[in-house]
Amino acid sequence: MDSSLVRVFPGIEARFPDAKVVLAFAAIYVLWGATFLAIRVAVLEVPFLFASGLRFLIVGSAFYTFMRLRGQPSPTPTQWRTIAVLALFMFVATYAALFWAEQYVPSGVASVIEATLPITTMVIEVFIFRRHALHWRMGAAVVLGFLGVACLLLRTDAAVPGLPCLVILAGGIAWSLGAVLTRQMPTPRSVALSAGAQMMLGGAVLLTLSGISGELSPFPEISVRAGVALLYLVVAGSLIGFTAYLWLLARMPATRVASHAYVNPLVALALGYFIGGETLTPRMLLASVLVIASVFLILTNPRGREGRSDNRRTSPWHRHPLLSSARRATRDAAASAGRSSAGVPGGARSGVALTRHERESSIPAHRTAHNG
Protein backbone atom coordinates (compact mmCIF):
# COMPACT_ATOMS: atom_id res chain seq x y z
CA MET A 1 0.00 0.00 0.00
CA ASP A 2 1.25 3.51 -0.82
CA SER A 3 3.15 4.84 2.23
CA SER A 4 1.95 8.40 1.56
CA LEU A 5 -1.67 7.28 1.97
CA VAL A 6 -0.80 5.58 5.26
CA ARG A 7 0.79 8.81 6.55
CA VAL A 8 -2.23 10.92 5.56
CA PHE A 9 -4.82 8.35 6.67
CA PRO A 10 -3.30 6.33 9.55
CA GLY A 11 -6.26 3.94 9.77
CA ILE A 12 -6.36 3.06 6.11
CA GLU A 13 -4.34 -0.16 6.60
CA ALA A 14 -6.94 -1.53 9.00
CA ARG A 15 -9.74 -0.92 6.49
CA PHE A 16 -7.81 -1.95 3.37
CA PRO A 17 -5.40 -4.81 4.10
CA ASP A 18 -2.23 -5.15 2.07
CA ALA A 19 -2.85 -6.92 -1.23
CA LYS A 20 -0.03 -9.37 -0.45
CA VAL A 21 -1.78 -10.38 2.77
CA VAL A 22 -5.05 -10.93 0.89
CA LEU A 23 -3.30 -13.06 -1.73
CA ALA A 24 -1.49 -15.08 0.93
CA PHE A 25 -4.73 -15.84 2.75
CA ALA A 26 -6.34 -16.73 -0.58
CA ALA A 27 -3.50 -19.22 -1.09
CA ILE A 28 -3.96 -21.03 2.22
CA TYR A 29 -7.76 -20.83 1.98
CA VAL A 30 -8.49 -21.66 -1.66
CA LEU A 31 -5.34 -23.35 -2.96
CA TRP A 32 -5.12 -25.64 0.05
CA GLY A 33 -8.87 -26.31 0.01
CA ALA A 34 -8.65 -27.36 -3.64
CA THR A 35 -5.88 -29.91 -3.03
CA PHE A 36 -8.42 -32.52 -1.89
CA LEU A 37 -10.16 -32.43 -5.27
CA ALA A 38 -6.77 -32.53 -7.02
CA ILE A 39 -5.83 -35.66 -5.06
CA ARG A 40 -9.15 -37.25 -5.99
CA VAL A 41 -8.56 -36.55 -9.68
CA ALA A 42 -4.97 -37.86 -9.53
CA VAL A 43 -5.58 -41.13 -7.66
CA LEU A 44 -8.47 -42.15 -9.90
CA GLU A 45 -5.95 -42.42 -12.75
CA VAL A 46 -2.50 -42.81 -11.12
CA PRO A 47 -1.40 -45.30 -8.38
CA PHE A 48 -1.81 -43.66 -4.99
CA LEU A 49 1.67 -44.37 -3.57
CA PHE A 50 3.28 -43.16 -6.78
CA ALA A 51 1.20 -39.97 -6.83
CA SER A 52 1.88 -39.06 -3.19
CA GLY A 53 5.55 -40.00 -3.36
CA LEU A 54 6.17 -38.04 -6.55
CA ARG A 55 4.49 -34.97 -5.10
CA PHE A 56 6.48 -34.86 -1.89
CA LEU A 57 9.82 -35.87 -3.38
CA ILE A 58 9.63 -32.98 -5.85
CA VAL A 59 8.36 -30.43 -3.34
CA GLY A 60 10.69 -31.52 -0.55
CA SER A 61 13.75 -31.52 -2.80
CA ALA A 62 12.85 -28.03 -4.04
CA PHE A 63 12.46 -26.56 -0.54
CA TYR A 64 15.53 -28.32 0.85
CA THR A 65 17.76 -27.35 -2.09
CA PHE A 66 16.53 -23.76 -2.07
CA MET A 67 17.26 -23.28 1.62
CA ARG A 68 20.68 -24.96 1.35
CA LEU A 69 21.57 -22.62 -1.52
CA ARG A 70 20.51 -19.69 0.66
CA GLY A 71 23.13 -20.70 3.19
CA GLN A 72 21.16 -22.79 5.68
CA PRO A 73 23.36 -25.48 7.28
CA SER A 74 22.65 -29.13 6.67
CA PRO A 75 20.81 -30.87 9.53
CA THR A 76 22.98 -32.66 12.07
CA PRO A 77 22.77 -36.47 12.40
CA THR A 78 20.53 -36.02 15.46
CA GLN A 79 18.26 -33.66 13.53
CA TRP A 80 18.12 -36.09 10.60
CA ARG A 81 16.81 -38.76 12.99
CA THR A 82 14.05 -36.39 14.10
CA ILE A 83 13.29 -35.54 10.48
CA ALA A 84 13.06 -39.25 9.63
CA VAL A 85 10.58 -39.90 12.47
CA LEU A 86 8.46 -36.91 11.44
CA ALA A 87 8.56 -38.02 7.80
CA LEU A 88 7.32 -41.51 8.66
CA PHE A 89 4.49 -40.31 10.89
CA MET A 90 3.39 -37.15 9.10
CA PHE A 91 3.97 -37.97 5.44
CA VAL A 92 4.29 -41.70 4.84
CA ALA A 93 1.53 -42.93 7.17
CA THR A 94 -0.76 -39.92 6.80
CA TYR A 95 -0.58 -39.37 3.06
CA ALA A 96 -0.50 -43.03 2.06
CA ALA A 97 -3.79 -43.32 3.95
CA LEU A 98 -5.30 -40.15 2.49
CA PHE A 99 -4.30 -40.83 -1.13
CA TRP A 100 -5.53 -44.44 -0.91
CA ALA A 101 -8.84 -43.47 0.67
CA GLU A 102 -9.62 -40.74 -1.83
CA GLN A 103 -10.00 -43.44 -4.46
CA TYR A 104 -13.27 -44.28 -2.70
CA VAL A 105 -14.25 -41.21 -0.62
CA PRO A 106 -15.41 -37.87 -2.09
CA SER A 107 -12.83 -35.13 -1.71
CA GLY A 108 -15.16 -32.97 0.40
CA VAL A 109 -15.72 -35.76 2.92
CA ALA A 110 -11.98 -36.43 3.08
CA SER A 111 -11.35 -32.77 3.87
CA VAL A 112 -13.86 -32.83 6.74
CA ILE A 113 -12.20 -35.90 8.29
CA GLU A 114 -8.75 -34.34 7.85
CA ALA A 115 -10.01 -31.26 9.66
CA THR A 116 -10.17 -33.36 12.84
CA LEU A 117 -6.36 -33.20 13.21
CA PRO A 118 -6.52 -30.53 15.95
CA ILE A 119 -9.07 -32.68 17.79
CA THR A 120 -7.05 -35.90 17.70
CA THR A 121 -3.88 -34.09 18.71
CA MET A 122 -5.64 -32.51 21.67
CA VAL A 123 -7.14 -35.85 22.73
CA ILE A 124 -3.72 -37.53 22.64
CA GLU A 125 -2.12 -34.78 24.69
CA VAL A 126 -4.92 -34.48 27.24
CA PHE A 127 -6.08 -38.07 27.73
CA ILE A 128 -3.03 -40.19 26.86
CA PHE A 129 0.04 -38.11 27.77
CA ARG A 130 -1.85 -35.89 30.24
CA ARG A 131 0.17 -32.83 29.32
CA HIS A 132 -2.78 -30.45 29.50
CA ALA A 133 -5.77 -30.04 31.74
CA LEU A 134 -9.21 -30.61 30.26
CA HIS A 135 -11.58 -27.63 30.47
CA TRP A 136 -15.06 -27.10 29.13
CA ARG A 137 -13.93 -25.58 25.85
CA MET A 138 -11.73 -28.58 25.03
CA GLY A 139 -14.47 -30.98 26.15
CA ALA A 140 -17.05 -29.29 23.94
CA ALA A 141 -14.63 -29.37 20.99
CA VAL A 142 -14.01 -33.09 21.41
CA VAL A 143 -17.73 -33.89 21.66
CA LEU A 144 -18.63 -31.79 18.60
CA GLY A 145 -15.75 -33.15 16.55
CA PHE A 146 -16.48 -36.79 17.17
CA LEU A 147 -20.21 -36.25 16.69
CA GLY A 148 -19.32 -34.88 13.27
CA VAL A 149 -17.21 -37.91 12.42
CA ALA A 150 -19.96 -40.20 13.75
CA CYS A 151 -22.43 -38.55 11.38
CA LEU A 152 -20.24 -39.69 8.50
CA LEU A 153 -19.49 -43.19 9.77
CA LEU A 154 -22.60 -44.49 11.50
CA ARG A 155 -24.75 -44.45 8.37
CA THR A 156 -22.31 -45.30 5.63
CA ASP A 157 -23.56 -45.73 2.09
CA ALA A 158 -22.20 -45.82 -1.44
CA ALA A 159 -21.36 -42.12 -1.31
CA VAL A 160 -19.45 -42.39 1.99
CA PRO A 161 -17.95 -45.87 2.53
CA GLY A 162 -16.94 -46.48 6.12
CA LEU A 163 -13.54 -48.22 5.83
CA PRO A 164 -11.79 -45.51 3.78
CA CYS A 165 -13.09 -42.89 6.21
CA LEU A 166 -11.59 -44.84 9.10
CA VAL A 167 -8.30 -45.12 7.20
CA ILE A 168 -8.16 -41.32 6.78
CA LEU A 169 -8.90 -40.93 10.48
CA ALA A 170 -6.13 -43.42 11.36
CA GLY A 171 -3.69 -41.53 9.15
CA GLY A 172 -4.62 -38.32 10.93
CA ILE A 173 -4.00 -39.97 14.29
CA ALA A 174 -0.54 -40.99 13.07
CA TRP A 175 0.14 -37.35 12.18
CA SER A 176 -1.09 -36.18 15.60
CA LEU A 177 0.93 -38.83 17.44
CA GLY A 178 4.04 -37.83 15.52
CA ALA A 179 3.54 -34.19 16.45
CA VAL A 180 3.15 -35.05 20.13
CA LEU A 181 5.97 -37.60 20.40
CA THR A 182 8.57 -35.52 18.57
CA ARG A 183 7.77 -32.04 19.84
CA GLN A 184 10.83 -31.98 22.11
CA MET A 185 13.21 -33.50 19.57
CA PRO A 186 15.81 -31.25 17.91
CA THR A 187 14.98 -29.87 14.47
CA PRO A 188 16.77 -27.38 12.20
CA ARG A 189 16.10 -23.72 12.90
CA SER A 190 14.92 -23.19 9.35
CA VAL A 191 11.28 -24.25 9.12
CA ALA A 192 11.41 -24.53 5.32
CA LEU A 193 14.61 -26.60 5.41
CA SER A 194 13.18 -28.97 8.01
CA ALA A 195 9.85 -29.27 6.21
CA GLY A 196 11.63 -29.82 2.89
CA ALA A 197 13.77 -32.57 4.37
CA GLN A 198 10.70 -34.26 5.84
CA MET A 199 8.81 -34.13 2.55
CA MET A 200 11.88 -35.30 0.62
CA LEU A 201 12.40 -38.34 2.87
CA GLY A 202 8.68 -39.06 3.03
CA GLY A 203 8.38 -38.88 -0.75
CA ALA A 204 11.36 -41.20 -1.21
CA VAL A 205 9.84 -43.78 1.16
CA LEU A 206 6.44 -43.55 -0.56
CA LEU A 207 8.03 -44.09 -3.98
CA THR A 208 10.02 -47.02 -2.60
CA LEU A 209 6.79 -48.55 -1.30
CA SER A 210 5.24 -47.88 -4.69
CA GLY A 211 7.99 -49.89 -6.36
CA ILE A 212 7.77 -52.73 -3.82
CA SER A 213 3.99 -52.96 -4.22
CA GLY A 214 4.29 -53.29 -8.00
CA GLU A 215 2.83 -49.89 -8.90
CA LEU A 216 5.84 -49.11 -11.10
CA SER A 217 5.63 -52.33 -13.17
CA PRO A 218 4.84 -51.17 -15.74
CA PHE A 219 5.57 -47.50 -15.16
CA PRO A 220 2.27 -45.59 -14.70
CA GLU A 221 0.90 -43.69 -17.66
CA ILE A 222 0.08 -40.16 -16.56
CA SER A 223 -2.83 -38.70 -18.51
CA VAL A 224 -3.16 -34.99 -19.11
CA ARG A 225 -5.91 -34.79 -16.46
CA ALA A 226 -3.81 -36.59 -13.83
CA GLY A 227 -0.71 -34.62 -14.82
CA VAL A 228 -2.51 -31.32 -14.29
CA ALA A 229 -3.76 -32.52 -10.90
CA LEU A 230 -0.24 -33.56 -9.81
CA LEU A 231 1.21 -30.30 -11.10
CA TYR A 232 -1.38 -28.41 -9.08
CA LEU A 233 -0.50 -30.35 -5.93
CA VAL A 234 3.20 -29.61 -6.38
CA VAL A 235 3.09 -25.96 -7.45
CA ALA A 236 -0.11 -24.48 -6.02
CA GLY A 237 -0.81 -26.78 -3.10
CA SER A 238 2.72 -27.08 -1.76
CA LEU A 239 5.24 -24.59 -3.16
CA ILE A 240 2.91 -21.56 -3.24
CA GLY A 241 0.63 -22.59 -0.37
CA PHE A 242 3.37 -23.42 2.13
CA THR A 243 5.41 -20.34 1.24
CA ALA A 244 2.32 -18.19 1.79
CA TYR A 245 1.70 -19.93 5.11
CA LEU A 246 5.23 -19.19 6.37
CA TRP A 247 5.01 -15.61 5.10
CA LEU A 248 1.74 -15.05 6.97
CA LEU A 249 3.00 -16.74 10.12
CA ALA A 250 5.83 -14.21 10.30
CA ARG A 251 3.43 -11.26 10.02
CA MET A 252 -0.01 -12.14 11.37
CA PRO A 253 -1.48 -13.39 14.68
CA ALA A 254 -1.31 -17.17 14.81
CA THR A 255 -5.05 -17.62 15.34
CA ARG A 256 -5.75 -15.64 12.20
CA VAL A 257 -3.42 -17.82 10.15
CA ALA A 258 -4.90 -20.94 11.74
CA SER A 259 -8.31 -20.00 10.35
CA HIS A 260 -7.48 -22.04 7.25
CA ALA A 261 -8.27 -25.15 9.34
CA TYR A 262 -12.00 -24.39 9.22
CA VAL A 263 -12.10 -22.66 5.84
CA ASN A 264 -10.39 -25.42 3.85
CA PRO A 265 -13.20 -27.99 4.36
CA LEU A 266 -15.79 -25.45 3.17
CA VAL A 267 -13.75 -24.77 0.03
CA ALA A 268 -13.20 -28.49 -0.56
CA LEU A 269 -16.90 -29.31 -0.16
CA ALA A 270 -17.91 -26.52 -2.54
CA LEU A 271 -15.34 -27.45 -5.20
CA GLY A 272 -16.19 -31.13 -4.93
CA TYR A 273 -19.88 -30.38 -5.42
CA PHE A 274 -19.72 -27.72 -8.14
CA ILE A 275 -16.63 -28.88 -10.08
CA GLY A 276 -16.11 -32.53 -9.14
CA GLY A 277 -19.77 -33.49 -9.36
CA GLU A 278 -19.71 -35.04 -5.89
CA THR A 279 -22.82 -35.74 -3.85
CA LEU A 280 -23.50 -33.40 -0.96
CA THR A 281 -26.14 -34.68 1.47
CA PRO A 282 -27.66 -32.99 4.55
CA ARG A 283 -25.78 -35.51 6.71
CA MET A 284 -22.44 -34.43 5.18
CA LEU A 285 -23.31 -30.78 5.77
CA LEU A 286 -24.22 -31.47 9.40
CA ALA A 287 -20.97 -33.38 9.93
CA SER A 288 -19.02 -30.50 8.38
CA VAL A 289 -20.66 -27.93 10.64
CA LEU A 290 -19.92 -30.00 13.76
CA VAL A 291 -16.27 -30.62 12.86
CA ILE A 292 -15.61 -27.03 11.82
CA ALA A 293 -17.24 -25.74 15.03
CA SER A 294 -15.00 -28.09 17.00
CA VAL A 295 -11.84 -26.88 15.26
CA PHE A 296 -12.95 -23.29 15.78
CA LEU A 297 -13.25 -23.88 19.53
CA ILE A 298 -9.75 -25.36 19.67
CA LEU A 299 -7.95 -22.79 17.54
CA THR A 300 -9.53 -19.66 19.02
CA ASN A 301 -9.25 -18.18 22.48
CA PRO A 302 -12.10 -17.01 24.70
CA ARG A 303 -12.79 -13.31 24.42
CA GLY A 304 -10.54 -11.23 26.59
CA ARG A 305 -7.95 -13.95 27.17
CA GLU A 306 -5.94 -13.72 23.97
CA GLY A 307 -2.96 -12.18 25.61
CA ARG A 308 -2.64 -14.47 28.61
CA SER A 309 0.57 -16.43 28.63
CA ASP A 310 -1.03 -19.54 30.07
CA ASN A 311 -2.80 -20.11 26.76
CA ARG A 312 0.58 -20.69 25.22
CA ARG A 313 1.56 -23.21 27.84
CA THR A 314 -1.70 -25.15 27.79
CA SER A 315 -2.30 -25.25 24.06
CA PRO A 316 -1.66 -28.67 22.54
CA TRP A 317 -0.25 -26.89 19.48
CA HIS A 318 2.32 -24.76 21.28
CA ARG A 319 5.29 -27.08 21.12
CA HIS A 320 4.97 -28.50 17.62
CA PRO A 321 8.52 -29.33 16.51
CA LEU A 322 8.62 -27.29 13.30
CA LEU A 323 7.02 -24.25 14.87
CA SER A 324 9.29 -24.53 17.89
CA SER A 325 12.16 -24.19 15.46
CA ALA A 326 10.45 -21.14 13.99
CA ARG A 327 10.29 -19.56 17.45
CA ARG A 328 13.97 -20.26 18.06
CA ALA A 329 14.80 -18.74 14.71
CA THR A 330 12.80 -15.59 15.35
CA ARG A 331 14.32 -15.09 18.80
CA ASP A 332 17.77 -15.30 17.25
CA ALA A 333 16.70 -12.94 14.50
CA ALA A 334 15.51 -10.37 17.02
CA ALA A 335 18.75 -10.64 18.95
CA SER A 336 20.86 -10.08 15.85
CA ALA A 337 19.07 -6.81 15.05
CA GLY A 338 17.47 -7.06 11.69
CA ARG A 339 18.53 -10.43 10.35
CA SER A 340 15.58 -11.90 8.44
CA SER A 341 13.59 -14.74 9.94
CA ALA A 342 15.27 -18.06 9.25
CA GLY A 343 13.52 -20.50 6.97
CA VAL A 344 11.09 -18.21 5.16
CA PRO A 345 11.66 -18.37 1.40
CA GLY A 346 12.31 -14.91 0.06
CA GLY A 347 13.08 -13.57 3.53
CA ALA A 348 10.78 -12.09 6.12
CA ARG A 349 10.60 -9.14 8.39
CA SER A 350 12.43 -9.14 11.67
CA GLY A 351 11.68 -12.13 13.89
CA VAL A 352 10.08 -9.75 16.40
CA ALA A 353 6.87 -9.93 14.35
CA LEU A 354 6.27 -13.63 14.88
CA THR A 355 7.27 -13.45 18.52
CA ARG A 356 4.88 -10.56 19.16
CA HIS A 357 1.95 -12.26 17.48
CA GLU A 358 2.75 -15.51 19.23
CA ARG A 359 1.85 -13.89 22.51
CA GLU A 360 -1.69 -13.37 21.27
CA SER A 361 -2.50 -17.04 20.91
CA SER A 362 -1.27 -20.56 20.61
CA ILE A 363 0.64 -21.56 17.49
CA PRO A 364 -1.33 -23.83 15.17
CA ALA A 365 0.07 -27.11 13.94
CA HIS A 366 2.33 -26.72 10.98
CA ARG A 367 0.57 -27.28 7.68
CA THR A 368 3.43 -28.46 5.57
CA ALA A 369 1.17 -29.24 2.66
CA HIS A 370 -1.09 -31.09 5.03
CA ASN A 371 -3.91 -29.80 3.04
CA GLY A 372 -4.35 -32.97 1.21
Q: How far apart are CA 90 and CA 176, in angstroms?
A: 8
CB 199 within 8 A of CB 19: no
pLDDT at site 320: 42
Q: Is the pLDDT of residue 296 over 50?
A: yes
pLDDT at site 306: 42
Q: Write the CA distances from 110 to 78, 225, 338, integer angstroms.
A: 35, 21, 42
Average pLDDT, the chain: 78
pLDDT in tens, 151-178: 877 765 666 788 899 999 999 999 998 8
Confidence of residue 8 (pLDDT cuts 50, 70, 90): very low
Mean pLDDT check: name the lowest of 42-51, 57-66, 189-198, 208-217. Answer: 189-198
Mean pLDDT check: name the lowest of 8-17, 74-83, 85-94. Answer: 8-17
Q: Is the pLDDT of residue 207 over 90?
A: yes
- Most confident region among 9-18, 197-206, 324-333 by mean pLDDT: 197-206
pLDDT at site 356: 36
pLDDT in tens, 268-294: 999 999 999 998 888 888 889 999 988
pTM score of the predicted model: 0.78
Q: Rounded mean pLDDT of 338-365?
A: 33
pLDDT in tens, 79-88: 999 999 999 9
Express as a percent the part of the chain with pLDDT over 70. Answer: 75
pLDDT in tens, 35-65: 999 999 999 999 999 999 999 999 999 999 9
Q: Rounded mean pLDDT of 110-131?
A: 86
pLDDT at site 360: 36
pLDDT at site 305: 45
Q: Write the CA distances from 200 to 15, 83, 88, integer angstroms.
A: 41, 10, 11
pLDDT at site 215: 95
pLDDT at site 75: 95
Alpha-helical (H) ranges within the chain are 3-8, 12-15, 19-26, 32-43, 48-69, 77-87, 94-101, 107-114, 117-123, 136-153, 162-181, 191-212, 224-232, 241-249, 254-257, 260-274, 282-299, 310-314, 321-335, 352-358
Q: What counts of helices (H) and strands (E) characterise the chain?
A: 20, 0
CA 372 to chain centre: 8
